[in-house]
Chains A and B, each alone.
Chain A
Amino acid sequence: MSHFPILSLITFLPLVGAGFILTIRGDAEVVGRNARNVALWTSLITFFLSLYIWFNFNSGTAAFQFEERAAWMPAFKISYHMGIDGISMLFVMLTTLLTPICVLASWENVRDRHREYMISFLVLETMMIGMFCALDLFLFYIFFEGVLIPMFLIIGVWGGPRRVYASFKFFLFTLLGSVLMLLAMLTMYYTAGTADIPALMAFSFPAAMQTWLWLAFFASFAVKVPMWPVHTWLPDAHVEAPTAGSVILAAVLLKFGGYGFLRFSLPMFPDATVEFTPLIYTLSIIAVIYTSLVALAQEDMKKLIAYSSVAHMGFVTIGTFTLTIHGVEGAIYTMLSHGVVSAALFLIVGVVYDRMHSRDISTYGGLVHRMPAYALIFMLFMLASVGLPGTGGFVGEFLVLLGAFQADTWVAALAATGVILGAVYMLYLYRRVIFGKLVKEDLQRIMDLSRREVAVFAPLVILVLWMGIYPVTFLDIMHVSVNNLIQPFEAARAAAEGAAVIAGH
């Protein structure tokens, strides 16, 4: 290992910060202030360190980069193996960017246990980064499951009135899927004799076994994505979670499933992947249409956005399983832009929640009169969510649908109805919250964005426009890795077509 262990550094630095916060003593106010500052600085430094990856990443190769390997349990051939490629790199950046934003967003609205709250967030960051970097099955599993603990606490301790129900639902749903995944991992480990992910990617599992392994992984990832019909934990978790919790949940945690499909299901079980494509299409299309309609009927802002997340994730799974370059790149891009946009939308809900302590749409109306800057930012992210060209939301959706059209025109057409429905529920939400006369008594003195809130939104605004106008920056990073991932499928398709032509003669 000749180079600088950057991945371990950014993974465990937040944990070190959490350790620091543990040592803070004093009265509640001092502890709170110091804990916030330590958390902010730790996450900021982590972000700046992660820029080292951004600038030194070589997008010309599909191989894993910044690799680190250390013997961990040599007797069992389990090692501490980290590394990233063009698929995971951007998710690491997304995580390191959003954590300081979340810390800043929680500056004032967390009422008690500041120290524990900030510790949870830093531990969460460690787990998330580790998950995207892990290249060993068991290391991956530890991070993948480890995420549940801080998130469970964040929802269960700092959440809303039904927080206990929501946190248990969240925990049990995800755990149930993951247990099956663990069994599958053990099977893979015994079959292939290694826990190393790159080695497993090269290993070809027997077709019959692939089916079972694929299904076991699917159980876990489908809950994480979440796919219909195992999505019902998401609206509850979002509604009860504190703002920053919702942000991380929507922006990063939901990406675990999509990432898992790309890291495990596609490269390791290609036959099963092709076999189960119709299943994924069906569930995803139901997700897109069904949850869009449900979103339309919502009376709670957070729930509406939560349902819209399920719909957007439907696009991700469709794109992934088109097994075309456009579809997969679109899926990754949708995940990234959804990471930014849904984060911003939950923060937007958080802004008015902090002021009025209500998430009911009917509490609001006519906010534009008192909060023009807020209305503008809300407008921007609403449009990004709707997928307006020029915002980040468009590029991903466009590529996904382009890929889908090549794979199956019906899938593309049905999924594209989600684009219409998306516009309906978002515009309807916006109208009820922002437009109209400002008649409600308690809204008369509501304040526009504070300086801190502007600082929270500024990077997201820049990012969503950047992603919409010059997406090449991000697409270039993933091209080679995605190509490498898709290559076997394209080869198989070409072979099948060739065979068909020969048979036809």
Chain B
Amino acid sequence: MYTSAVFLPLLGSLIAGFLAFLAPEDKDRKARIDRAAQLVTCTGLILAAVASLFVFNAVVIGGNPVTIELFTWINSGGLEISWALKIDTLSAVMLSTVTVVSSVIHVYAIGYMHHDPSIPRFMSYLSLFTFFMLMLVTADNLVQLYFGWEGVGLVSYLLIGFWYDKPSACAAAIKAFVVNRVGDFGFALGIFATFVLFQSVNLDTIFATGGSKAGATLSVFGGEFHALTVICLLLFMGAMGKSAQIGLHTWLPDAMEGPTPVSALIHAATMVTAGVFMVARLSPLFEYSDTALTVVTLVGGTTAIFAATIGCVQNDIKRVIAYSTCSQLGYMFFACGVSAYSAGIFHLMTHAFFKALLFLGAGCVIHAMSDEQDMRNMGGIWKKIPVTYALMWIGSLALAGVPPFAGYFSKDIVLEAAYAAHTGIGAYAFWMGITAAFLTAFYSWRLLFMAFHGEPRADERVMARVHESPKVMLLPLMVLAAGAIFAGYAGYASFVGEHASEFWGDSILILPAHTALEAAHHVPAWVKYLPLAVGAAGIALAVVLYLVAPGLPAAIAGRFQAIYQFLVHKWYFDELYDFLFVRTAFWLGRGFWKTGDGALIDGCGPDGIAAATRDLARRMGRLQSGYVYHYAFAMLIGVVTLITWYLLKQT
């Protein structure tokens, strides 16, 4: 049961991957193979989802966390790493969320990728992605976590670059992998530091001894630092890469080059939330380092506002949602940063549903608009695709945190916890979160109005073909919509409410000194209602700008050209990195190659010596002139030298 939940997707992926190589010319046979690949992967995923619900029942409801050792992976001088599945409440929650959302996306992909020539390959990637994600969430040691971590990175590379004919897709794929690698660089160093401190990388061992190392120091990079702070900050660098936090976020919007189900899978339930999961998983370490928690809060709060500002000016429908994801991840991080890990995971879970819903809904819109993604070329289609429209409304309501939708419960508890932390950094996160909530509501309704309302801006040919998506795409959306409506209400009591402590068991550690989550239930009334109020204000602003006075946004953009350009260029991160790293690396590489290897090493080394030897030989050759008097003269010099030397030696 436990192993099948994790390994069924792998099996499905391998079979579909094998089918991808058959690729017969014959159309009927190809259709049959496509069908088989879809069947195998979807069945695998649905079975895995069912299995993980059983696991959830056994582990969470039954209160029976387990660790299953598969076999030894690496052993070397005191380092013992096994392939193992550690299943407690935290991983069971992740397991269920991932498999459920992923199976829904699998089914949706059948419809969405209908016309694509490489269906088996796509399905194989999706399942493989899910497998790595499951390995990640069930890891019982840091290295297996790293395995899943890099694994999802790999498959996201493959998925983003799925349409490999497009140069932009290839570039985005490489960018995603490399930026994640930069984060993983910190992650890897964090693992090494953990090993140096604990002589182990197994989570159970680390957690058991974490408290006793609270005062330990570690000498790294020429100084003595608080050991757990060093470890947590290094590991958090990995989380920043994977969860696209400010600085390492640049890959995420570009990742929209992949097909829509990919965006949903990467952004909703899986890859980008891995960072949040990691921080929650390692709460027994983070709890002992206030510095690390402060950094987490700072990064989370900043990302929340930063990404929201950019989301307000994007015109690509998927990019708006991508920046929204980035921003929501910021919320999850600052929740963790104020020790409200369970609130972060709660928001992660509800977000998985409504964000997947929004992405897949956007996919339906794109599908309906004949692959148009630019919202400036949409509009006036809400009557033609009412179901999609309604579903997008549900998603947006949940995202904006309007009661009783899921986002209301989770986002509010996150904000309340930040307020209730009563620290400077908590207040910073709270106000950033409130501002971001305003912007969130604004860009969500901006999206709705631009995509669905107003005058149709697409040409007639496209408008004539606008159609509702097939059932195989709509039904999965309904499942997600159900989640977006009910998940918050249903989960509140267990995740963050009165049953929280027995729900989570030992899977999350919060020190008694950190009371934000408990205090969050007793904040002043204005804190509770402020998110709602700013949300309403955001919606109202969107109504004014995009329904009532559609000419206004352009006028504002024209008036505040500098700010607008700054936002449209995404705070110039890409340009900066391109200048600092990409160009420099190529310039250095070429310089080292031509000047370093060519001119210096070879020029002074082998080639230089060879040339010198040849030169010397030529000069020596010239001495052999063939004239007797030349030789006689040389002999004379020789004799004189010898005699002189002899005489000098005598005296």
Q: Give A contacts to B, CB under 8 Å.
A: 169, 172-173, 229-230, 232-233, 235, 290, 293-298, 324-326, 329-330, 366, 368, 372-373, 376, 383, 388-390, 395, 398-399, 401-402, 405-406, 409-410, 412-413, 416-417, 419-421, 423-424, 427-428, 431, 434-437, 469-472, 475-476, 479, 483
Contacts and interface: CB of A to CB of B under 8 A. Distances in A.
A469 B273 CA distance: 26
Nearest to A330: B76
Contacts of A229: 601, 605
Interface stretch (B248-256, B440-448, B581-589): B581-589
5 contacts: A294-B596, A297-B589, A406-B196, A427-B157, A476-B75
B602 interface: yes
Given A297-B590, A409-B221, A475-B76, A420 B196 contact: no
B537 interface: no
B172 to A, nearest CB: 11
Contact of A402 (B79, B173, B597): B79
Contact of B593 (A298, A330, A469): A298
Most buried by A among B20, B74, B597: B74
B73 A472 contact: yes
Given A389-B151, A413-B221, A435-B164, A423 B592 contact: no
B392 interface: no
Chain A to chain B: the 7 pairs with minimum beta-carbon distance, closest first:
A325-B77, A297-B589, A405-B192, A293-B589, A389-B147, A435-B164, A296-B589
B143 interface: yes
A173 B188 CA distance: 37
Contacts of B189: 405, 409, 412-413, 416
A431 B74 CA distance: 32
Interface in B127-174: 143, 146-147, 150-151, 154, 157, 161, 164-165, 167, 170, 173-174
Contacts of B624: none
A417 B185 contact: yes
Interface size class of B (residues with CB under 8 A): 35 or more
Nearest to A297: B589
Interface of B is mostly: helix
A135 to B, nearest CB: 26
Most buried by B among A172, A390, A428: A390
A296 B21 CA distance: 31
B193 interface: yes
A329 B586 contact: no
Contacts of B167: 436
A172 B170 contact: no
Nearest to A437: B165
Interface stretch (B175-183, B364-372, B374-382, B512-520): B175-183
Interface string B203-223: 000000000000000011110
Nearest to A395: B74
B312 to A, nearest CB: 33
Contacts of B147: 389-390
B188 A372 contact: no
B220 A294 contact: no
Given A233-B606, A368-B164, 11 more contacts: A232-B602, A297-B589, A297-B593, A329-B77, A372-B21, A376-B21, A402-B191, A427-B178, A431-B174, A470-B71, A479-B76
Contacts of A297: 586, 589-590, 592-593
Contact of A232 (B77, B146, B195, B606): B606
A329 B79 CA distance: 12
B509 interface: no
B39 interface: no
A472 B72 contact: yes
A313 B597 CA distance: 17
B23 interface: yes
A260 B307 CA distance: 54
Given A389-B150, A435-B164, A435-B170, A405 B592 contact: no
A232 B167 CA distance: 34
B75 A293 contact: no
Most buried by A among B72, B147, B222, B597: B597
Most buried by B among A297, A389, A398: A389
Given A169-B606, A297-B586, A475 B601 contact: no
Nearest to A172: B606
Contact of B74 (A230, A296, A401, A475): A475
Given A410-B222, A431-B174, A419 B188 contact: yes
A379 B189 CA distance: 26
Contact of B188 (A169, A401, A410): A401
A423 B593 contact: no
A475 B73 CA distance: 10
A173 B146 CA distance: 41
Contacts, number: 147
B597 A294 contact: yes
B22 to A, nearest CB: 10
B76 A399 contact: yes
Interface string B498-514: 00000000000000000
A155 to B, nearest CB: 15
Contacts of A475: 74-76
Contacts of B586: 296-297
Given A172-B606, A329-B76, A424-B178, A398 B585 contact: no
Nearest to B148: A389
A436 B170 contact: yes
Contacts of B191: 402
Contacts of A290: 592, 596
Interface in B15-63: 20-21, 23
Interface in B547-584: none
A326 B77 contact: yes
Contacts of B150: 388-389
Contacts of A483: 77
Most buried by B among A366, A406, A412, A420: A420
Contacts of B196: 405-406
Contacts of B602: 232
A373 B21 contact: yes
Contacts of A399: 74, 76, 79
Nearest to B164: A435
A505 to B, nearest CB: 20
Given A372-B21, A389-B151, A232 B76 contact: no
A298 to B, nearest CB: 7
Contacts of A470: 71, 73
B73 A471 contact: yes
A294 to B, nearest CB: 4
Given A294-B589, A410-B221, A424-B178, A232 B597 contact: yes
Contacts of A406: 192, 196
Contacts of A413: 189, 221
B170 A293 contact: no
Interface string B65-94: 000000111111111000000000000000
Nearest to A422: B181
B364 to A, nearest CB: 29
A173 B607 CA distance: 11
B585 A416 contact: no
Contacts of B188: 398, 401, 416, 419
Contacts of A434: 164
A233 B602 CA distance: 9
A419 B170 contact: no
A434 B157 CA distance: 14
B456 to A, nearest CB: 33
B67 to A, nearest CB: 19
Contacts of B221: 409-410, 413
Given A232-B597, A290-B592, A326 B79 contact: yes
Contacts of B143: 389, 398
B77 A324 contact: yes
A413 B596 CA distance: 24
A385 B281 CA distance: 30
